[in-house]
Amino acid sequence: MNRRDLLAAAGVLGLAPTWACAADGDAAAARDAYLYALPLIEMATTRERILKIPGAAINTLRHTRTLSDHTARWVTTPNNDTLYSPAFLDLTRGPVTLTIPPMGKRYYSVAVMDMFTNNNVVLGARTIGGEGGTFTLVGPGQASTGPNPVRIATPHAWLLIRILTDGGDDMPATHRTQDGFVLKGPAGGPVAAYANRDAKPADYFAAARALLASDPAPATDQRILRRTAAFLGGGTFDEAAAAAGVEQARMIAVFAKERMVYTGGWSYPRPNLGDYGQDYLYRAVVAQQGLGALPVAEAMYMKAAGDSGAGVFTGDGLYRLSLPAQLPLDAFWSLSMYEVTADGQLFFTDNALRRYAIGDRTAGLKRNADGTLDLWIGRTDPGGDKTANWLPAPKAGPFALFLRAYLPRAEFLDGRFRLPPVVKA
């Protein structure tokens, strides 16, 4: 990519949520088309991956019975606090009903995302409480006489349940809770395979057109769809321009990841996380780096700045995060450790403690006399009392830290409260 293209990419990154042409011609349209379609591609890729798991099927819940660990590679940046129960939905043959059992005080959320990765609804402790109920998920243009109808923006969708568990002795009770969720609906049709984000441009755009035919874009996206019609609407396009545009788009995704804004050592999510409107660039970056993100009212995801302010740690020494006795939230928090793969995705890292996250529910944490908490992060055991508060880093290679805060209070959401930075010990 030449200097002009790099400047074009940087120009796009400076314009959010407004979408603008940073370069002329078909290459710019191909670039924008690639980024616009990336959430659809990532959703289809994840759906294909999940449906390959024995027992998985459309319109069927698949309960994971163990917390995610270093072997979990089905979605980037997993958490180690909740059990997942995913289901990909096909609403083309009629509505689907979801029954949520009484949950009491246990944290849970049921996010239903359309194929563009917008959270159309989050049913959970924050929105419906702990009493449970039955809800009818209805596709576009459908009528429903079922209880508590919830309109979904696309004919296909991803339902993702998160249920908090303390692990260990709490697992049997958590499993019983999972089994209380019931999803009923028509059998889903066959699911085609689609090209992934690394495919050749012609294959990528063919997959994008097929996905848009299956799950049409909202009317509010007409402007970009007209401008990218050669790539997303059919017809012919210049292959050289397509290749140049796709190269720009992939570089933009890398730039976006590296150009996050850090305040006091942490990046904070934008208010439109999980419901993106016309912020197509942010939507694309989240789809690649954190598919399935909840909206900020449900959970905030903060990434530590790292050694050079680019979100990555590379040092072999010990790091410290000192937290106040209480964070302003109504559920729980956790700090997760991820190894960074060659393509920029984030997964848990293997370690002797089998500890992939540390948080306010971690057994055996040692607090200071005033209730504050020092967490120790590093590749080797710091020893002594520090071991109880140690979050192991990968034995080698770059790593990243995310802090999740569930049900954040107003001062967390509006920025009055900020996390202290991770520092070298």
Pair 379, 346 in one domain: yes
Domain count, the chain: 3
Per residue in 179-194, pLDDT (tens digit) is 999 999 998 778 999 9
Task: For residues 404 and 329, state if they share a domain.
Answer: yes
Q: Are residues 172 and 63 in the same domain?
A: yes
| Same-domain pairing of 87 and 201 | no
Quick one: 302 and 419 in the same domain? yes
* Mean pLDDT for the chain overall: 92
Q: Are residues 236 and 334 in the same domain?
A: no
pLDDT in tens, 65-110: 999 999 988 777 889 999 999 999 999 999 999 999 999 999 999 9
Residue 266 lies in a domain: no
- Structural domain includes residue 271: no
Q: How confident is the model at residue 4 (pLDDT cuts 50, 70, 90)?
A: very low
Within a domain: 398: yes
Residue 307 belongs to domain spanning: 298-424
Rounded to an integer, the average pLDDT of 392-402 is: 97
List of residues 6+ apart from 56 with CB closer than 8 A: 50, 62
| C-alpha R_g of the chain | 22
Is 286 domain-assigned? no
180 and 201 co-located in one domain: no
pLDDT at 259: 66
Instruction: Residue 355: give its domain's CATH number.
Output: 2.60.120.600
Residues contacting 356, CB < 8 A, separation 6+: 67, 68, 69, 70, 80, 336, 337, 348, 349
Q: Are residues 175 and 147 in the same domain?
A: yes
Structure tokens at 225: 């769809």
| Residue that is last in its domain, among 154, 184, 214 | 184
Residue 75 sits in the same domain as residue 116:
yes
Segment 383-400 shows an average pLDDT of: 96
Encode pLDDT of 236-272 as tens digits. 899 999 999 999 999 988 777 666 789 999 999 999 9
| DSSP percent split of the chain into helix, strand, coil, nearest 5 | 25, 25, 50
199, part of any domain: yes
Do 305 and 390 share a structural domain?
yes
**Residue 73 confidence (pLDDT):** 82
The secondary structure of residue 385, as a DSSP letter, is G
> How many whole angstroms separate alpha carbon 43 and alpha carbon 49?
10
Torsion angles phi and psi, residue 225, rounded to 5 = -65, -35
Name which of 272, 399, 299 is nearest 344 in CA terms: 399
